[in-house]
């Protein structure tokens, strides 16, 4: 009896399960072909009634905005966002790209958008494999997103689905006339080609063999032209030229530009290549432009004298200028040292670039061996200033003449040393000038570098040449000995900074080795300056050499740290692919290009980026903070800098998708960052 009841219960359970599963399957198999959102309806249409193995059919997304509202083309223009669709299916079907009908320009206030203000069908070709089984219905799901706008914009999302049978023959569906009408609005199959040239204010597009009908160019890129500006058409002997004002967000670099050429009734896809033979795309510049950048470099060189690495060295030299009876060669030696050193930098950069390497301003500071060498040099100078080395010592004499000597050689060495320690810095006005210098023709590079050198050398050269300028200095006295020893401490601060830079390049273990080597170097130099016996001198010399070699040997065997060691919490390491992905997804992005040896960068990070308001802003989901660390060589970062005609860091860029881009000033405040990000959000979300 018990067994019979068990059988009855089991049969009842299986029956209930079968009925429930059938109901669920029936519910899932139901098509959801339409949906509605604020001010718009969307539908999923099919051109044919079935799928045929080995053949293609067409599906379409019909967007029907209310009168006065519009949707967007692939490039939305000044604002907006193109609709997107992703496909899912239970069969191995392949889906093509969206076939965009002819758009038209839609004025919105002072902006111009590209899109459709009535019904428009976005068609996609679907291909079935030859071995697709018959008599098994295929379910296709389309996940849609769109933006419908009037003066305000409203985003929308929907998931539509359709089930199609698989048959050996096919017939048009009831929606076929809509597909036929839309196919008349697609661009022609013929692909046109042309050339373009870029000037400071315009983009000139040249096409041959088109009629004189009124055409309009729709760019594929949103940051290329001023969409609301008129396009001037010039026809001459079978050649048509479009003169279009370029966008302020376009960096002026492109090898190929893609367009849609349309007269409102027919259209062609157009591919244009840069006219490399034209002077408008070459790296030459007008005399006025060259003079402007040279002036910026000169002013930047003046400001460079105030950088904390440079000022102590120049102060030592200024205090050492006791003699006013120097020859002209003595007076000009500092200027010659600065100019030759800057030209040597320019020559090395040019030769490295010619050999295929990418280098920028301050490139030598990316080499750990240079950082280590400077750390030893500044430690040695500090010991000399503190009189820690015997006055009679040969080493002390070298150091004394290097920083405070009165000979022409000492003045020349001071100029060269000042340039070397100033090179990691980028003063205001320098960035744009150096950026142009490092991507221009060689003569432009050397002119700008010489302008920078003259600005940098001017203050000290005036002290050498002018007795009136010398009168500005305090009168000599006992105080100078105290001041000289005081200047040893800025030298030690510079050494501490160099050790910190070295830690970023080689790691904390290598930094400890360098600190230990510097201490040993100081001790052996001090002992050597006071030793008399030959044996002791030999031992101390060996110890001195070993302390010099130690950090170089250790740093070779230690892995360099990654940017992941940064203390910033809300950031992502720089990758070009990541930036492009976020911009394609219409995200707000702030890119910070920095380096441990860049003083301006570190000041900005402490003053601006460490602000609670800024860090809270970076913690938001719709704001992405990306840090590029150029402490060590990085070809991808240098390519990014060159896009903005910058030769070094810092560089700060804010993006809002593809339609907005802003380069921030080199000196930042929290308010500067916050205002820039809020402006980007307004551009992205159309908050006016």
Q: Could you list the residue range(s) of the whole structural domain that residue 412 is in?
A: 287-487
Q: Which of 115, 150, 183 delimits the end of a domain? A: 183
Q: How far apart are CA 113 and CA 116, in angstroms?
A: 9
Q: How far apart are CA 484 and CA 206, in angstroms?
A: 67
Least confident of 182-191, 228-237, 395-404: 395-404
Q: Are strands 660-663 and 120-127 parallel, antiparallel or unpaired?
A: unpaired
Q: Is-contact 375 518, C-beta < 8 A?
A: yes
Q: How far apart are CA 176 and CA 120, in angstroms?
A: 14
Q: What pLDDT, in 10s, does the model give residues 154-168? A: 889 999 999 999 998
CA-closest candidate to residue 421, choices 347, 370, 457: 370
What is the pLDDT at residue 441? 72
Q: Based on the domain organization, do 610 and 471 belong to the same domain?
A: no
> pTM score > 0.75 for this model?
no
Q: What pLDDT, in 10s, does the model give residues 586-596? A: 899 999 998 87
Banded pLDDT at 5 (limits 50, 70, 90) = very low
CA atoms within 13 A on the CB side of 444: 21
Banded pLDDT at 282 (limits 50, 70, 90) = very low
What is the pLDDT at residue 421? 66
Across 17-27, average pLDDT: 37
What is the pLDDT at residue 434? 64
Q: Is residue 523 part of a domain?
A: no
Q: Based on the domain organization, do 164 and 267 belong to the same domain?
A: no
Q: Is residue 325 part of a domain?
A: yes
* Domains contained in the chain, number: 5
Q: What pLDDT, in 10s, does the model give residues 195-240? A: 888 877 788 888 887 875 688 999 999 889 999 888 888 776 677 8
Cβ-based burial of 33 (10 A; exposed 0-12, middle 13-18, buried ≥19):
middle
Q: Based on the domain organization, do 318 and 374 belong to the same domain?
A: yes
Q: Based on the domain organization, do 237 and 374 belong to the same domain?
A: no
Q: Which of 229, 251, 274 delimits the end of a domain? A: 274
Across 317-343, average pLDDT: 72
Tokens representing residue 413 in the block: 């060495």
Q: Based on the domain organization, do 85 and 195 belong to the same domain?
A: no
Q: Is-contact 418 528, C-beta < 8 A?
A: no
Q: Is residue 15 part of a domain?
A: yes
Q: Which of 149, 183, 217 delimits the end of a domain? A: 183
Q: What is the mean pLDDT of the chain?
A: 78
Q: Based on the domain organization, do 4 and 51 belong to the same domain?
A: no
For the beta sheet containing 71-77, the strands, ordered from the edge strand earlier in sequence to the opposite edge, are 71-77, 111-116, 104-108
Q: What is the CATH number of the domain that holds 174?
A: 2.60.40.10
How many Cβ atoms are within 10 Å of 556's Cβ, its own excluded? Answer: 11
Q: How far apart are CA 49 and CA 166, in angstroms?
A: 9
Q: Based on the domain organization, do 131 and 216 belong to the same domain?
A: no
Secondary structure (DSSP) of 5-54:
HHHHHHHHHHHHHHHHHHHHHHHHHS-B-EEEETTEEEEEEESBSSB-TT
Q: Based on the domain organization, do 573 and 667 belong to the same domain?
A: yes
34 pLDDT higher than 90: yes
Q: Is residue 354 part of a domain?
A: yes
262 φ/ψ angles, rounded to the nearest 5 degrees: -140, 145
Q: Is residue 416 part of a domain?
A: yes
Q: How far apart are CA 591 and CA 626, in angstroms?
A: 5
């Amino acid at each position: 009896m018990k067994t019979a009841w068990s059988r009855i219960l089991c049969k009842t359970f299986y029956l209930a399960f079968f009925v429930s599963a059938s109901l669920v399957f029936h519910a899932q198999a139901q098509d959801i072909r339409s949906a509605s959102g604020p001010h718009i309806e969307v539908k999923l249409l099919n051109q044919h009634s079935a799928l045929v193995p080995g053949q293609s059919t067409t599906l379409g997304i019909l967007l029907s905005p209310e009168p006065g509202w519009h949707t967007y083309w692939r490039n939305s223009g000044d604002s907006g966002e193109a609709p997107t669709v992703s496909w899912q299916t239970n069969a191995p079907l392949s889906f093509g790209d969206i076939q965009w009908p002819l758009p038209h320009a839609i004025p919105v206030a002072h902006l111009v958008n590209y899109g459709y203000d009535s019904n428009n069908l976005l068609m996609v070709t679907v291909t079935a494999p030859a071995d697709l089984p018959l008599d098994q219905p295929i379910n296709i799901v389309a996940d849609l997103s769109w933006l419908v706008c009037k003066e305000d914009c409203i985003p929308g999302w929907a998931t539509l689905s359709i089930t199609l049978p698989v048959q050996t023959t096919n017939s048009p569906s009831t929606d076929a006339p809509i597909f036929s009408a839309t196919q008349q609005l697609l661009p022609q199959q013929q692909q046109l080609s042309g050339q373009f040239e870029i000037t400071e204010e315009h983009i000139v597009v040249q096409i041959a063999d088109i009629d004189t009908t009124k055409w309009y160019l729709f760019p594929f890129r949103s940051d290329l032209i001023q969409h609301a500006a008129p396009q001037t058409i010039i026809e001459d002997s079978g050649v048509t030229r479009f003169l279009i004002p370029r966008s302020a967000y376009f960096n002026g670099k492109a090898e190929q530009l893609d367009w849609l050429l349309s007269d409102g009734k027919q259209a062609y896809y157009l591919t244009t290549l840069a006219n490399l033979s034209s002077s408008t795309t070459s790296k030459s510049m007008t005399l006025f432009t060259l003079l402007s950048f040279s002036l910026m470099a000169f002013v930047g060189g003046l400001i460079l004298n105030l950088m904390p690495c440079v000022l102590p060295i120049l102060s030592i030299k200024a205090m050492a200028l006791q003699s006013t009876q120097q020859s002209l060669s003595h007076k000009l030696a500092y200027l010659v040292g600065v100019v030759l050193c800057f030209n040597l930098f320019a020559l090395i950069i040019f030769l490295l670039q010619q050999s295929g390497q990418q280098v920028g301003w301050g490139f030598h500071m990316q080499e750990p061996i240079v950082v280590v060498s400077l750390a030893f040099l500044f430690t040695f100078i500090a010991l000399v200033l503190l009189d820690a080395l015997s006055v009679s010592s040969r080493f002390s004499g070298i150091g004394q003449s290097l920083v405070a000597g009165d000979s022409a050689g000492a003045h020349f060495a001071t100029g060269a040393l000042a340039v070397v320690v100033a090179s990691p810095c980028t003063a205001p006005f320098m960035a744009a000038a150096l950026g142009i210098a490092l991507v221009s023709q060689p003569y432009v590079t050397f002119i700008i570098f010489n302008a920078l050198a003259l600005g940098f050398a001017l203050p000290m050269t005036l002290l050498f040449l002018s007795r009136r300028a010398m009168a500005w200095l305090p009168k000599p006295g006992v105080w100078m000995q105290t001041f000289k020893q005081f200047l040893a401490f800025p030298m030690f601060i510079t050494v501490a900074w160099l050790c910190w830079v070295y830690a970023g390049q080689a790691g904390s273990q290598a930094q400890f080795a360098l600190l230990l080597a510097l201490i040993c170097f100081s001790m052996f130099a001090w002992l050597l300056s006071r030793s008399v016996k030959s044996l002791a001198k030999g031992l101390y010399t060996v110890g001195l050499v070993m302390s010099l070699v130690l950090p170089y040997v250790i740093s070779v065997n230690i892995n360099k740290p990654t940017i992941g060691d940064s203390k910033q919490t809300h950031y992502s390491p720089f990758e070009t692919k990541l930036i492009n992905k976020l911009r394609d997804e219409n995200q707000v992005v702030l890119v910070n290009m920095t380096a441990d040896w860049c003083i301006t960068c570190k000041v900005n990070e402490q003053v601006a980026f460490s602000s609670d308001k800024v860090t809270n802003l970076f913690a938001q989901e719709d704001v992405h903070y990306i840090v590029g660390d150029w402490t060590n060589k990085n070809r991808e970062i240098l390519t990014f800098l060159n896009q903005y005609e910058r030769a070094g860091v810092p560089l700060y860029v804010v993006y809002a998708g593809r339609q907005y881009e802003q380069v921030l000033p080199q000196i930042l405040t929290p308010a500067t960052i916050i205002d820039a990000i809020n402006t980007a959000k307004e551009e992205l979300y159309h908050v006016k």
